[in-house]
Amino acid sequence: MARTGLLVVLEGGEGVGKTTQWTRLTHALEATGQEVVALREPGGTGPGDAIRALLLDSEEALRPATEALLFAASRAELVERAIRPALGRGVLVLLDRYLLSTYVYQGMARGLEASGLRAINQFATGGLVPDCTLLLQLPVQEALHRMQERGAPDRLEREGLAFHERVTRGFDVAAGAEWQQAHPECGAILAVSALGSASDVSARCLAVLADRWPERFTPPVGQTP
């Protein structure tokens, strides 16, 4: 039977273990025999990788509006060149960050108006809405502790505690029903606790997917992380 494509996004603040989960979930889902296209923002295309370097590796100060436009430009490339073609083939796309990161980082943490962010991203994505977003949640102190154990921080990771608290708070607000109703372009946002071991968190993510799409993700997926 032909499958429809599915766009699953992983989101969360710095240090919640999102990229670890992105890798683990990709392997776990592939092990069940389904094709998974794993992509991450910003980057993932030639122009997108150049934009990523400008956004994260450069020492240049960027105005918040410039930052938002660059994230949207990288997203426009990824949607058109990689995400839509994969969805068109009926496969599962597992995407590390998408539109919600822009609302939280550039909107709630940097203070840009949500209406402007909505407009530039509608233009960038052509209105591509995720089927669901798994939002990994961790108290900010625990996340910062995990972040400090990693290597050299990038430009956004170097922001102070107040910035990261606004990011954590922003994701918490986005997990609420009221915010989601006001932002249908982000699709359903499902909160997943990131406490505990990597395999505990993977199991929680897979259980959420299996609950939502039982015919696609059960039974063997839950046993493989």
d(CA 189, CA 100): 9
Segment contacting ligand TYD (CB under 6 A): 39-47, 175-183, 184-192, 210-218? 39-47
For ligand TYD, give the closer residue by CB, 56 or 190.
56
* Least separation in angstroms between CB 110 and ligand TYD: 8
d(CA 102, CA 121): 9
Which regions of the chain does DSSP assign to beta strands (E)? 6-11, 36-40, 92-96, 132-137, 189-193
Q: Which residues are CB-neighbours of 67 under 8 A, at least 6 positions away?
A: 55, 106, 110
Q: Please tell me whether residue 19 binds ligand TYD under the rule CB under 6 A.
A: yes
Q: Please tell me whether residue 202 binds ligand TYD under the rule CB under 6 A.
A: no
Q: Which of 6, 94, 95, 105 binds ligand TYD (CB under 6 A)?
A: 105
Q: Please tell me whether residue 199 binds ligand TYD under the rule CB under 6 A.
A: no
Q: Which of 8, 37, 41, 128 binds ligand TYD (CB under 6 A)?
A: 41
Site string for ligand TYD, 111-150 (x = CB under 6 A): ----------------------------------------
For ligand TYD, give the closer residue by CB, 97 or 204.
97
Return the closest-CA partner of residue 66 out of 83, 84, 51, 85.
Answer: 51
Q: Which residues are CB-neighbours of 217 under 8 A, at least 6 positions away?
A: 29, 32, 206, 209, 210
Phi then psi for residue 126, to 5 deg, are 65, 20
Q: Please tell me whether residue 11 binds ligand TYD under the rule CB under 6 A.
A: no
Q: Please tell me whether residue 171 binds ligand TYD under the rule CB under 6 A.
A: no
* Least separation in angstroms between CB 105 and ligand TYD: 3
Q: Please tell me whether residue 71 binds ligand TYD under the rule CB under 6 A.
A: yes
Return the closest-CA partner of residue 190 out of 102, 144, 131.
Answer: 131
Segment contacting ligand TYD (CB under 6 A): 58-66, 93-101, 169-177, 190-198? 93-101
Return the closest-CA partner of residue 156 out of 193, 115, 109.
Answer: 109
In the DSSP assignment, the letter for residue 196 is S
Q: List interacting residues with ligand TYD (CB under 6 A).
A: 14, 18-19, 40-42, 56, 71, 96-97, 101-102, 105-106, 154, 156
